[in-house]
Amino acid sequence: MPISSYRPRLRDLRPLVPAAVAAPTLAPALVRTTPASDFAGRAGYDPAHLPDFAVALPSTAGVRSDVRAVPGRDDGRLDYAHFSLVLSASRRLALFTAANLDGAQSVSVPRGGDPWALDGRLPADAQVGEELYAGNDFDRGHLVRREDPNWGADAATANRDTFHFTNCAPQLSAYNQQTWLGLEDLVLGNTRRQRERASVFTGPVFRADDPVYRGIAIPLAYWKVIAFVHDDGTPSATAYMIDHDVDLGRVELIFGPYKTYQRSVAAVERATGLDFGALALRDGFSNEEAATGARIERVIRVAADVLV
């Protein structure tokens, strides 16, 4: 398929230019803001969610200067129903999200009439909001997938919580959603003996040469780390990255097809500056890299390509 077939529908997206001469940012659109008081009682991500396998949030010590401060929280953590996230101060997008999944208690919450909102615990200008997405074909992409935290008695609350711009990142029309989002379903299928539970971390890869649109640097790669207890009872982890080629030398940015790779947890750490602690010890790819010194990756085209 010719590369022009992957041209995004955004006609005003241009190659990276220095911030000093970047196109002016549009005035923010009027959007709903959820008052800070509405989040009272949210427990957020639970590190003890998996049976006999404690999985802490990744450490942000390596990117501490970029953690957006949150009133009353030294770690910058924003808690929602069954998930939490930490925001980047410089990019105004999430450094990472962390969600607990429970397939056995999953509740189907219909989608419809769920307006995106700003989080009232932060100033509006600390979040990338509707000013980026209005009047173009960028998707408002969930980082924590809408269905993931929708389980238990507060499933409806969790569903609404996913529709906050703090949990949103711009996704292009060529985004390989079917392969990317199906990874979690595949892993849950290997956890039946442990009540189909998993803890999922997701976020963008921030690079210095990310292209700029409306004053916002657009991530061109995303990562996912999934912690789970395998069907045989073994605590396990697996990691993925999605990326695509971009031609910055053309008059308009030309986006190649997204490619999904199974990578090591260690590779995600190198790309993000986050530290997943002992979780890398539960990941076969990280162990192989440590033993051989080679960086390991596996192209994922269909579900059968994934090793868990």
What DSSP assignment string belongs to 115-160? --EEETTS-GGGS--HHHHTTS--EEEESS-TTTT-BSTTHHHHHH
**pLDDT confidence band for 170 (50 / 70 / 90):** confident
Q: Measured between alpha carbons, how far is 224 from 186 in angstroms, rounded to an integer?
A: 13
Within 13 Å and on the Cβ side, how many CA atoms surround 180? Answer: 23
Considering the chain, what is the average pLDDT of its residues? 81
pLDDT of the residue at 100: 95
Which of residues 174 and 282 earns the better pLDDT score?
282
pLDDT of the residue at 218: 86
Q: Measured between alpha carbons, how far is 105 from 161 in angstroms, rounded to an integer?
A: 18
**pLDDT confidence band for 243 (50 / 70 / 90):** confident
Strongest mean pLDDT among 83-87, 190-194, 223-227: 83-87
Residue 19 has pLDDT above 70, yes or no: no
Residue 291 has pLDDT above 70, yes or no: yes
Residue 302's region, left for phi above 0, alpha for psi from -120 to 50, else beta, is beta
- Domains detected in the chain: 3-305 (3.40.570.10)
Residue at token pair 């990276």: 16
pLDDT of the residue at 141: 85
Q: Measured between alpha carbons, how far is 65 from 89 in angstroms, rounded to an integer?
A: 8
Which of residues 152 and 13 earns the better pLDDT score?
152
Least confident range from 75-79, 221-225, 229-233: namely 229-233
Residue 233 tokens read as 């009872």
pLDDT of the residue at 173: 54
Nearest to 188 by CA among 198, 180, 178, 202: 198
Q: What is the pLDDT of residues 131-151, one digit of tens each?
A: 998 887 678 888 998 888 999
Q: What is the pLDDT of residues 105-120, one digit of tens each?
A: 988 898 877 789 999 9
Q: What is the pLDDT of residues 47-76, one digit of tens each?
A: 999 989 999 999 999 999 999 999 989 899
Residue 17 has pLDDT above 70, yes or no: no
Phi, psi of 259 (to 5 degrees): -125, 135
Residue 159 has pLDDT above 80, yes or no: yes
C-alpha dist (Å) from residue 136 to 8, 71, 243: 10, 33, 22
For residue 164, what are the β-bridge partners?
Answer: 117
Number of neighbouring beta carbons within 10 Å of residue 271 = 18
| Contact present, 288 and 167 (Cβ < 8 Å) | no
Q: Measured between alpha carbons, how far is 202 from 204 in angstroms, rounded to an integer?
A: 7
Residue 257 has pLDDT above 70, yes or no: no
Residue 194 has pLDDT above 80, yes or no: no
CA dihedral 68, 180, 217, 128 (to 10 degrees): -50
Strand (E) or helix (H) holding 263: strand 259-263
Residue 261 has pLDDT above 90, yes or no: no
Q: Percent of the chain at pLDDT above 90?
A: 47
